[in-house]
Amino acid sequence: MAAGQIEQEAEGKMKKTLENLRKELASLRAGRASPALLEKVTVDYYGTPTPVNQLASISVPEPRLLVIQPWDRNMLPAIEKAIMKSDLGLTPSSDGVVIRLVIPQLTQERRRELTRFVKKKAEEAKVAIRNIRREANDGLKRLAKEGSISEDEEKKRQEEIQKLTDTYSREIDSVAEAKEKEIMSV
């Protein structure tokens, strides 16, 4: 494996780590209605677990209201049941055509819990980034030991990987900070 490949692979893994963090934080309930809340909710659709967003259109008519309109009306009870079973802690109300989910205001204690969770997830993502950096540097050391690259090349590549690590760490911080701000805003 070439030194450039190691660098590209490390950057690709760092990008995935950041995207995973963004997805995970998007599905967090922050007192505002967001279709991303339902991404992890799956419904048994003729024997296949299927995400709600593939069975219905989800709209946000008001900041604290989600409206779920199934394409197949027969799926209404199944979607309701799946939401009840999920860890969202929301109670759906149905009128036979659509399901309404009212997002209650978060208590101050719950907000603090959520910000701790966000910080924990951000730290886990940073640890993953540092592990990717370590793996990449180990690969570069191996190449230098084999004589495939010079020591100068190894140092230069390690500096590049460090720059990537710093960039992605800052990005993780800003994503976490934005989510914390969203959670704490009343």
pTM over 0.85: no
Tell me what pLDDT residue 181 has: 87
Do 135 and 179 have their domain in common?
yes
Do 118 and 138 have their domain in common?
yes
Read off the pLDDT of each residue in 28-42 and give the average, rounded to a whole number.
75
pLDDT beyond 90 at 57: no
Read off the pLDDT of each residue in 71-95 and give the average, rounded to a whole number.
83
Tell me what pLDDT residue 83 has: 84
Do 178 and 111 have their domain in common?
yes
pLDDT beyond 90 at 11: yes
Tell me what pLDDT residue 31 has: 65
* Number of domains present in the structure of the chain: 2
SS (H, E, C) the chain: CCHHHHHHHHHHHHHHHHHHHHHHHHCCCCCCCCHHHHCCCEEEECCEEEEHHHCEEEEEEECCEEEEEECCHHHHHHHHHHHHHCCCCCCEEECCCCEEEECCCCCHHHHHHHHHHHHHHHHHHHHHHHHHHHHHHHHHHHHHHHCCCCHHHHHHHHHHHHHHHHHHHHHHHHHHHHHHHHHHCC
Do 125 and 60 have their domain in common?
no
pLDDT beyond 80 at 29: no
Do 40 and 7 have their domain in common?
no
- The confidence band for 86, taking pLDDT boundaries of 50, 70 and 90, is confident
- The confidence band for 186, taking pLDDT boundaries of 50, 70 and 90, is low
Q: What is the CATH number of the domain that holds 20?
A: 1.10.132.20
- The confidence band for 129, taking pLDDT boundaries of 50, 70 and 90, is very high
Tell me what pLDDT residue 15 has: 94
pLDDT beyond 70 at 169: yes
Print the domain residue range for 134: 3-26+107-184
Domain boundary among 102, 127, 160: 102
Do 57 and 79 have their domain in common?
yes
pLDDT beyond 90 at 131: yes
pLDDT beyond 90 at 130: yes
